[in-house]
Amino acid sequence: MFAKWKQGLARTRKTTFGRIATLLGATEITEETWEALEALLIQADLGVETALEILDALQAKVAQEAMVRSDELEEALRHELRQRLQTPPSLTWEHQPTVILLVGVNGSGKTTTAAKLAWRYAHAGKSVMLAAADTFRAAAIDQLKTWGQRLGVPVIAGQPGGDPGAVTFDAVQAAKARGSDLVLVDTAGRLHTRFNLMEELKKVRRVAGKAMPGAPHHVWLVMDATTGQNALQQAKAFQKAVNVDGVILAKLDSSARGGMAFAIQRELGLPILFAGLGESPTDLEPFNPDAFVQSILVSSE
């Protein structure tokens, strides 16, 4: 069980969380245990606030239950970690098509994630369409077209330098005409300035709504799990501009910073919907909080 998660989270598990597991091996809880645990939790990219909240909760529990052994503390820690992760809602198919915008900073994994989602839903029997609304780079359009060919999923694209709003509009219209279930819109991660990017994304969002009232139905922020805390500031800018309703945490497999998942949920108040655990189309898993916690902090039985 959870094999893919265990493998994908190996780096995170072997770094700070590994040291936490060692610390909580089988000794008694002492003052040093708390000091070391505080330092390790902060180092684990949980964010200071989350780390301190967890520490407080654990201290209260230890006092309340008169706990003396640190392996019991480990189990309590796992429980505290799990509690801080939301079980993601699954997609409801009330619209035809459902329109999803994928946004995020450059290189975060948007295009790859678009392909992975296309694969997942096509595999589940849905008719999927990809929209190449990153018109800023010619290569971006080709990248998405190549994925479309590999996956047998149609790609609506315009000319390099063209209007991303127009591409989005065309894609939604085409999906309506064909009776598609899902339109995944891949957007740019970089423009001349951050301001331009946010303005462009707002426009893409507006235009989607013109093509279909209520669209986009979701805006998912793709975050690179290898980036540290400043990814949270970037995320807030997207949240402010385009009303993000979920996060996809890409590249968890190449990151030792899996602890970020906790800071994301706390600071952004958004559920993590999927995790990227590799580069191929099948390497995207619906976020599983139980698997996640058990993969970063394996019980030392």
Ligand X SMILES: Nc1nc2c(ncn2[C@@H]2O[C@H](COP(=O)(O)OP(=O)(O)OP(=O)(O)O)[C@@H](O)[C@H]2O)c(=O)[nH]1
Report the interface residues with Mg ion, using CB under 5 A.
Answer: 110-111, 140
47 is an interface residue for ligand X by CB under 6 A: no
b/e per residue 38-57 (b: at least 16 CB within 10 A): eebbbebbbbeebbebbbeb
**Shorter beta-carbon distance to ligand X: residue 76 or 144:** 144
Does residue 227 touch ligand X according to CB under 6 A?
A: no
Task: Kindly state the smallest distance separating residue 287's Cβ from ligand X, in Å.
Answer: 13
Does the footprint of ligand X cover residue 173 (CB under 6 A)?
no
**In whole angstroms, how close is the CB of 112 to Mg ion at the nearest point?**
8
State the binding partner of 109 from Mg ion, ligand X, none, CB within 5 to 8 A by kind. ligand X
Q: Which is nearer to ligand X, 9 or 76 (CB)?
A: 9
104 binds, among ligand X, Mg ion, none (CB under 5 to 8 A by kind): ligand X
Residues 249-288 that bind ligand X (CB under 6 A): 250-251, 253-254, 276-279, 283
CA distance 261 to 254: 14
- Return the number of the residue (189 or 278) whose C-beta is nearest Mg ion: 189
29 vs 102, beta carbon nearer ligand X? 102
Neighbour-count burial of 299, counting CB atoms closer than 10 A to its CB (0-12 exposed, 13-18 middle, 19+ buried): exposed
Residue nearest to Mg ion as judged by C-beta position: 111
Q: What, of Mg ion, ligand X, none, does residue 281 touch, CB below 5 to 8 Å by kind?
A: none
Contact flag: residue 4 with ligand X (CB under 6 A): no
Q: Which residue number, 140 or 172, has a Cβ lying nearer to Mg ion?
A: 140
> Which spans of this chain sit near ligand X (rule: CB under 6 A)?
104, 106-112, 134, 140, 189-190, 250-251, 253-254, 276-279, 283
